[in-house]
Structure 1
């Protein structure tokens, strides 16, 4: 049963540029401009009309956008919940300008060992994450640690939790890696690793959407009975100010917005693509967290029930549930 029939999230790519070269991501390889504040203000008004509640200003590395604080301020003024994920390289210098503008601030950290984390990210940024944690806490911010889980680092979750998250009273978000296109991510999770993830999700101040685990046990999305609701729950806006469908990772079509996002999204041409969400040949086996999380939230299914405890837990910890009422 469908509970919500309008989009709830916007993945707003402020740039594809990045100051890291993560091997499990190919976004940084793309040439890219930066979004303009004028376009963002226009699009936010239309996103609000369409029912979107959360804006994820993403990239690339979103802090490379020199006017990110202004974009966040505009989103907050229009009543959105905001989220930003950063590798931490630029956060200490920009922290004061970003103060109070990010509801869900995530610092990426994939290992408690500096050399290993830096190798995964292709740049030395472990020390900057540690500095970012200290700076954010000094400003009264409540950042999270976003840990991208691979088969090879799943046994390091405990060290990150005990030595970094608990002493700093941070939420640990476990983000199981996903495969897409030709990007090498280290293969599938074993049954034992999936069990470990579920167990970790039950710990205090740990967020793990158990729907992600169940979906992997089920072999991902299946086009004959899709669980993905990417295009109807999530709008993707590119740095070129285009609407990308059905999702960023497929990116089959891009439509120039030209100040008419509301009408564009409701147009027959776009809605024809929306109707194909999860049913395209490329969608078979997909388990991309960015789109599955909102997909689980809008339709009652076994994934909705699996996702519910972690969703309630995180929103209670962060206090964002109040903004969703």
Structure 2
């Protein structure tokens, strides 16, 4: 659900599937059915044009591999968000194994890779991993808590296609309640630095029952003030450490959509909602090198198999659709 669209030309990834071209947007994570004929690989397109093309669920593409994946190469984080999706007991592979996985993702037909965590900006080898993925024609985004973003924007600016910064509130009082003192100021400094370097940047915020209604409009206003490319509101998933908050803090998809409807006609920046239904079936490569899939409705996540070859990303009837 989008209010406005940016006119900026930026990098996307495209593939031809059957008689149509599909485009992955690294800024929003959305898949679009292209309105024009496109080749395969990284392409520069108008954000306005892409946003005007129909959004499609990746499953509707019927591709042999996922359209995009979330790669969480580490579980380490400098913050401790109570709704974190990570299972901190998952093994974290070393640098050589991270390089191997990056090369396998680059060899596959995956269009987009969102590098998450944990906190990916803690990885010294992050620029090299991005370079490998870009060389494989992937569109690459990084999802971060923003606390280390300001000091790493120069290295990211010539590499990454989009940055998604997680905020839990539109001001220090509300954000730091969840993430710790000072984290809001660091994140805002990181957002400003990324924008100054020309990195397409958006805010992501998890919807919680206790805070959503009081903070959503202020979050959109903050986004407009900062000059980010949009805000994505994420439905809380009862996965990992976040399972403990699910009963108290989850909104239904219908309730979340209703809240977005109240904002959609007046929002000063593009806004969208990722429902739990939309998160179902998404593919995650976790820090242990295992391929995982969100179950339908994203109420749980299941391990499929180790990622040993690019062919391991191929979806089977048992795995479900992309």
- TM-score by length of structure 1 reads 0.67
Aligned equivalents of 1:153, 1:205: Cα separation in 2 = 20
User: Which of residues 242, 260, 269 in structure 2 aligns to 1:205?
Assistant: 269
Task: Verify the 8 A CA contact 1:15 1:59 in the aligned structure 2.
Answer: yes
User: Which of residues 168, 178, 181 in structure 2 aligns to 1:120?
Assistant: 178
- Tell me what 2:28 maps to: none
User: Which of residues 100, 106, 116 in structure 1 aligns to 2:164?
Assistant: 106
- Tell me what 2:245 maps to: 184
Task: Verify the 8 A CA contact 2:73 2:98 in the aligned structure 1.
Answer: no
Aligned equivalents of 2:235, 2:280: Cα separation in 1 = 17
Q: Does 1:194 align with 2:244?
A: no
Matching of residues 57-136 of structure 1 within 5 Å: 57-122=115-180, 124-136=182-194
- Tell me what 1:314 maps to: none
Aligned equivalents of 1:134, 1:18: Cα separation in 2 = 22
The CA deviation at 1:2 is 3.8
Q: Does 1:24 align with 2:69?
A: no
Structure 2 gaps of 5+ residues are 1-58
Query: Matched residue of 1:184: which SS?
Result: helix
Aligned equivalents of 1:165, 1:2: Cα separation in 2 = 32
Aligned equivalents of 2:97, 2:256: Cα separation in 1 = 43
Q: 1:249–1:257: structure 2 CA closer, same or farther, 3 Å change rule?
A: farther
Q: Does 1:271 align with 2:321?
A: no
- Tell me what 2:291 maps to: 243
User: Which of residues 264, 288, 306 in structure 2 aligns to 1:256?
Assistant: 306
Q: 1:44–1:14: structure 2 CA closer, same or farther, 3 Å change rule?
A: closer
Task: Verify the 8 A CA contact 1:86 1:108 in the aligned structure 2.
Answer: yes
Aligned equivalents of 1:66, 1:188: Cα separation in 2 = 37
Answer with 244-253 or 82-91: which moved more: 244-253
Aligned equivalents of 2:102, 2:90: Cα separation in 1 = 24
Aligned equivalents of 2:256, 2:70: Cα separation in 1 = 29
Task: Verify the 8 A CA contact 1:69 1:101 in the aligned structure 2.
Answer: yes
The CA deviation at 1:70 is 0.9
- TM-score by length of structure 2 reads 0.68
Higher strand share: 2
Q: 1:26–1:193: structure 2 CA closer, same or farther, 3 Å change rule?
A: closer
Task: Verify the 8 A CA contact 2:113 2:141 in the aligned structure 1.
Answer: yes
Task: Verify the 8 A CA contact 1:151 1:193 in the aligned structure 2.
Answer: no
The CA deviation at 1:190 is 8.9
Aligned equivalents of 1:208, 1:196: Cα separation in 2 = 11
Q: 1:35–1:123: structure 2 CA closer, same or farther, 3 Å change rule?
A: farther
Task: Verify the 8 A CA contact 1:14 1:238 in the aligned structure 2.
Answer: yes
Query: Matched residue of 1:132: which SS?
Result: helix
Aligned equivalents of 2:207, 2:257: Cα separation in 1 = 11
Answer with 247-256 or 141-150: which moved more: 247-256
The CA deviation at 1:83 is 1.1
Task: Verify the 8 A CA contact 2:167 2:175 in the aligned structure 1.
Answer: yes
Structure 1 gaps of 5+ residues are 222-226, 278-294, 296-325
The CA deviation at 1:16 is 1.2
Aligned equivalents of 1:41, 1:31: Cα separation in 2 = 18
Q: 1:152–1:134: structure 2 CA closer, same or farther, 3 Å change rule?
A: same
